[in-house]
Amino acid sequence: MDRPAAASPVLASAIVGQLEALGVKRVFGIPGGGSSLALIEAAGRVGLEFILTRTETAAAIMAAVTGEMTGTPGVVLTGVGPGAASAVNGIAYAYLEKSPVILITDGPASTPHQALDQNALYAPITKLQGRLRPESGTADFAQAIETAMTRPWGPVHLDLTASDASTPVAGATPLTPAPKSPAPSAAMLEKAGALLAASRKPIILAGLEARHAEGPGALRQMASALVCPVLTSYKASGVLPSSHPGFAGSFTGAVAEADIIHAADLILLFGLDPVEIIPGHWPYESPVLDLCAAEATPLAVEPACRVIGDLAKITNALASELSPSDWTVV
């Protein structure tokens, strides 16, 4: 006997399947009915836990921290209108802190009741906005994931109606691997090498980009080769163990670390994001070498050289220029 053809999955199930393939373990939010219920039901069928939170902002912050800790996007579900708007503070946090988050809001509303242009609301604080529809939803969702995971990481926002969530679709669009950082420029590597070769007392200020993949190992390699002080931002706390002989404390942007930075003849930013620097006058005169994974908003200081790319590859490329400094270890 011929076996009956398998029923096509509905859009909500296809989306959850993409999240499962990505390694997502849980979603956060406050269901307001509509598409969020369909997504929660589909998540439960494959073992993705739904965490009911007290507020939508709390859900967004929990998702953002999940993204920071795991390197996979945090996921937030909200209702339409006021529910969607209530996640703004948490998504703003994710945008500023470079956290990969996928926000799926019910809607848009089909009647004036609770009608709100949710895409427009989130446009200033997300990397991508859109609406998931059955004819292109899985492809659009795959693009949203890729956008959230392209450095600098950040949140994306998608509307999904209950009707569209429950409509059969052809199947999930295969996910592409997380985009890699660009290859560092040979010219910039040469300039960075010259700055390192001329420096006798460099100092490293490590930031949030140093936390993932091979970043921590690259930072240890750089610090050990230069035998120089390393200050870590709050977001990079623990990337370099406090037991490391080069660990010199936290980079706060205040006066606590000013003396040691003033004493350096080269300030090496290792994955330090502009959001980690207190706005205002940059008080240090030594040249700045900026090693970063992606283009970002302008720094408080114009670097003498900026090398963009994978931090581990940059460190390996500069290995021949890394020699012990004149700092004294006490």
List of residues 6+ apart from 117 with CB closer than 8 A: 108
- The listed range with the strongest mean pLDDT (224-228, 298-302, 326-330) is 224-228
Q: Which pLDDT band holds residue 16 (cuts at 50, 70, 90)?
A: very high
User: Which among 39, 19, 5, 43 is positioned nearest to 173, based on CA atoms?
Assistant: 19
Residue 188 phi/psi, 5-degree rounding, is -70, -35
On whether residue 246 sits in a domain, the answer given is: yes
pLDDT (mean) for 108-113: 68
Residue at 72 is within a domain? yes
- The number of C-alpha atoms within 13 Å of 199 and in the hemisphere containing its C-beta is 29
Cα of 270 vs its chain's centroid, Å: 16
Domain containing residue 273: CATH number: 3.40.50.1220
Q: What pLDDT score was predicted for residue 44? A: 95
Instruction: Report the CATH number that the domain containing residue 108 is assigned in CATH.
Output: 3.40.50.970
User: What value does the mean pLDDT take over residues 2-7?
Assistant: 46
| pLDDT band per the 50, 70, 90 thresholds, residue 121 | very high
* Total domains, the chain: 2
151 with 270, same domain: the answer is: no
Given 97, 131, 165, the domain boundary residue is 165
Does the pLDDT of residue 3 top 70, yes or no? no
18 plus 58 within the same structural domain: yes
Q: Are residues 68 and 99 in the same domain?
A: yes
pLDDT over 70 at 101, yes or no: yes
Backbone torsions φ then ψ of 116, nearest 5 degrees? -160, 135
Looking at the structure, tell me whether residues 207 and 82 fall in a common domain: no
- 78 assigned to some structural domain: yes
Confidence of residue 182 (pLDDT cuts 50, 70, 90): confident
pTM of structure: 0.87
Based on the fold, state whether residues 159 and 196 are members of the same structural domain: no
Task: Transcribe 56-110 into DSSP letters.
Answer: HHHHHHHHHHHHHHHSS-EEEEE-STHHHHTTHHHHHHHHHTT--EEEEEE---S
Mark whether 161 and 237 lie in a shared domain.
no
The domain in which residue 137 lies consists of 11-165
Using CA atoms, how far residue 205 sits from 5, 60, 228, 262, 289, in Å, is 59, 29, 11, 13, 10
CB atoms within 10 A of CB 121: 18
217-260 residue pLDDT tens: 999 999 999 999 999 999 999 999 999 999 999 999 888 899 99
